[in-house]
Amino acid sequence: MVSSSGNPEFRMIDANGVRLRAAVAGEGPLVVLVHGFPESWAAWRHQIGPIAEAGFKVCAIDCRGYGGSDRPHPVEAYDLETMTADIAGVVAAEGGGAPGVLIGHDWGAHLVWHTALLHPDRIRAVAALSVPFLGVAERALIDAVRPAYGDRGKFFYQEYFQKEGVAEAEAERDLNAFVRRFYFWLSGEAPDGLGNGRPASGGVLDGLPDPDPFPGWMTEEDIAYLVSEFRQSGLRGPLNRYRNQHRDVAFLTPWRGQKIQQPAFFIGGERDLVLSMVPGLDMIAAMRRNVPNLTGAVMLEGCGHWTQQERPQEVTAALVGWLKGLPA
């Protein structure tokens, strides 16, 4: 796989009762990188080397269910309580007794925000890409968006992901096509409205093209590597994260109203569909109300959902600058 990460060391980390594979590079204060769906440690291939060179110990994990990490079968093994404990466990194992910095993308962003909330003694700062923190949820996202999607007979991918085995079968039938079509759908190069208007009875790939060639920010070698990772792990574990929304809301009840207190940073793409997922909600404004120590929110023009892969130089420069400016 073509990578600008130098030569990280791969190791297995014991955390919260599972073993997680991680790419580790550099020395200094710990920075844990947490990927989203459907990704791997390699989503950070452009950032690992530069962050390590800036004087940090970088640990890019495969979340449970992905790649070389353990992949428990039960749906509840992927709930928020468990997966944030995984990340806190990585900090404990690799941080030398000091709190760590977390950076996450997509589901990884959701996980790092909540790890900072639930394990504040372990986390000294947090940065998120694509997914802002809107406050502790009082209802599941699939319920919040149902009036705009399912109740109107429109397809919403997270609702489709709820039934065990269905999305797995569609994706695993042709993993190469799944990666290419899913990634292009959420990229900055996708045409406006791509995938809109699909009936609720359809599949996640219905109406999504397989671009030839794929946008240059993700090479054929990058795609082949990701496909090989999913051949090894399957998609059940990754999809199980979506199936815990009601369990997560119930678990978070004691934290409702609480804010993220650590120094924080956000990077988003102006063409990221995630930021317009809830009609009428200004997610960036909502994040500012719930993250009082947010030091910056960078929006990348023309960028889609895959921020650190679509705009590697800009994202890396922004993250390194933020990291260097953190209080010791």
State whether the Cα torsion 57-104-170-236 is positive or negative: positive
Q: How far apart are CA 8 and CA 24, in angstroms?
A: 5
Provide the CA 21 distance to its chain's centre, in angstroms.
16
Give the alpha-carbon dihedral of 19, 26, 316, 320, to 10 degrees: 120
119 has catalytic annotation: no
* Residue 14 annotated among the catalytic residues of the structure: no
**Alpha-carbon distance 322 to 328, whole Å?**
12
Q: Is the dihedral of CA 299, 302, 307, 308 positive or negative?
A: negative
Residue indicated by tokens 């690799």: 94
Are 63 and 108 in contact by the 8 Å Cβ rule? The answer is yes
Selected catalytic residue, list 35, 46, 119, 305: 305
Helices (H), the chain: 48-53, 80-94, 107-118, 141-144, 157-160, 166-173, 175-185, 220-233, 236-240, 245-251, 283-290, 307-310, 312-324
Task: Identify the DSSP state of 149.
Answer: T
Catalytic entry in 62, 70, 106, 248 = 106
Which residues have C-beta within 8 Å of that of residue 120, sequence separation ≥ 6? Answer: 261, 262
Secondary-structure percent of the chain, ordered helix, strand, coil, rounded to 5:
40, 15, 45
Q: So which residues are the catalytic ones?
A: 106, 305
